[in-house]
């Protein structure tokens, strides 16, 4: 058994944090398979981390152990969790970081990381990514120690995430994430819009002023024009050909998206 370990954090790559986490994992399991999801989550932005986990989770290899460290409450009374799903494991703080992933799970089991046998000693009050989360992942990658990690809990924190709303004549959503290209992703999904479009002519408006056309791919838009596409997670996304929707049109997180 050698389950892969995937890492997500807001640590960046300038400092020693990511290297320290990987070092602890490899000390426990020298044969560990480690890969990075991203370490460029905006600092302390739990909601962004939750969205990125949701985005990558469908393609993770079965059995993957995800270590997610965006942890502004490190050292406080917030719990450290290991969550087992049908697809794999998620290890990190109990602060809502796994909200979007768990919304897609019919069943999961959560345990509090309490057995210090599986910690890296001494445990720092400011670096649980190194001393609590990553060693638990390393031990779990080697064997079935899930039930030994700590007591079961039903108290898994969920974020209050923005949801699209529906009426007879419109869908209202908002921009929830902007990637490094300046493409703006909304919380309106393809199945919802396809169903809606069968009943109504679909008009897409962003920020209450931009009238947007739906295109099949990025380069189908006219230069400088804001367009909508379906992204790889089947969410409605806004982009500009060879440019940034964020910079060119001032699109930002929280901006309204209306379909009518």
Say whether both 139 and 176 belong to one domain. Answer: no
Q: Which of 153, 175, 195 is the last residue of a domain?
A: 153
User: What pLDDT, on the 0 to 100 scale, is given for residue 4?
Assistant: 98
Q: Which residues 6+ apart lie within 8 Å of 209 measured at CB?
A: none
Q: In this predicted model, what pLDDT tens digit does every residue of 156-168 receive, in sequence order?
A: 999 988 888 888 7
Say whether both 16 and 39 belong to one domain. Answer: yes
Q: In this predicted model, what pLDDT tens digit does every residue of 210-232 receive, in sequence order?
A: 778 888 888 888 888 899 999 99
User: What pLDDT, on the 0 to 100 scale, is given for residue 117?
Assistant: 97
- CATH number, domain of 252, equals 2.40.30.90
pLDDT at residue 111 is higher than 60: yes
Say whether both 102 and 129 belong to one domain. Answer: yes
User: What pLDDT, on the 0 to 100 scale, is given for residue 201?
Assistant: 54
Span of 37-46, 70-79, 210-219 with lowest mean pLDDT: 210-219
Q: To the nearest whole number, what is the mean pLDDT of the chain?
A: 93
Say whether both 171 and 253 belong to one domain. Answer: yes
Q: In what order do the strands lie in the sheet with 89-93?
A: 34-38, 5-9, 65-69, 89-93, 80-84, 109-112, 152-153
Span of 39-43, 107-111, 193-197 with lowest mean pLDDT: 193-197
User: What pLDDT, on the 0 to 100 scale, is given for residue 197?
Assistant: 64
Segments forming the whole domain that contains residue 68: 5-153
pLDDT at residue 260 is higher than 90: no
Quick check: is 133 in a domain?
yes
Q: Given pLDDT bands bounded at 50, 70 and 90, which one contains residue 185?
A: very high
Q: Looking at the 3D structure of the chain, how many domains does it have?
A: 2
Q: In this predicted model, what pLDDT tens digit does every residue of 113-154 receive, in sequence order?
A: 999 999 999 999 999 999 999 999 999 999 999 999 999 999
Quick check: is 64 in a domain?
yes
Quick check: is 255 in a domain?
yes
Say whether both 148 and 228 belong to one domain. Answer: no
Q: Which of 125, 153, 181 is the last residue of a domain?
A: 153
Q: Which of 153, 178, 195 is the last residue of a domain?
A: 153
Say whether both 102 and 214 belong to one domain. Answer: no
- CATH number, domain of 93, equals 3.40.50.10790
Quick check: is 159 in a domain?
no
pTM: 0.92
User: What pLDDT, on the 0 to 100 scale, is given for residue 221?
Assistant: 84
Say whether both 123 and 40 belong to one domain. Answer: yes
């Amino acid at each position: 058994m050698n389950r892969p370990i995937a890492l997500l954090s807001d640590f960046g790559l300038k400092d020693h944090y990511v290297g320290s986490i990987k070092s602890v994992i490899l000390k426990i399991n020298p044969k560990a398979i480690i890969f990075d999801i991203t370490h460029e989550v905006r600092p302390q932005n739990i909601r962004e981390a939750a969205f990125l986990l949701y985005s990558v989770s469908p393609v993770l290899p079965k059995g993957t152990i995800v270590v997610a460290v965006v942890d502004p409450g490190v050292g406080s009374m917030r719990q450290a969790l290991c969550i087992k799903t049908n697809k794999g494991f998620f290890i990190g703080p109990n602060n809502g970081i796994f909200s979007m992933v768990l919304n897609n799970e019919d069943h999961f089991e959560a345990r509090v990381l309490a057995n210090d046998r599986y910690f890296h000693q001494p445990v720092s009050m400011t670096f649980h990514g190194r001393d609590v989360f990553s060693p638990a992942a390393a031990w779990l990658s080697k064997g079935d120690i899930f039930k030994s990690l700590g007591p079961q809990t039903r108290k898994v924190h969920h974020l209050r995430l923005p949801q699209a709303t529906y009426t007879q004549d419109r869908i209202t959503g908002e921009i929830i994430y902007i990637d490094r290209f300046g493409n703006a992703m909304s919380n309106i999904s393809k199945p919802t819009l396809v169903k809606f479009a069968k009943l109504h002519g679909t008009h897409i408006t962003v920020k209450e002023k931009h009238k947007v056309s739906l295109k099949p791919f990025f380069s189908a838009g006219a230069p400088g024009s804001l367009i909508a596409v379906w992204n790889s997670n089947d969410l409605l996304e806004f982009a500009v050909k060879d440019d940034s929707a964020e910079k060119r049109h001032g699109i930002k997180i929280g901006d309204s998206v209306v379909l009518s």
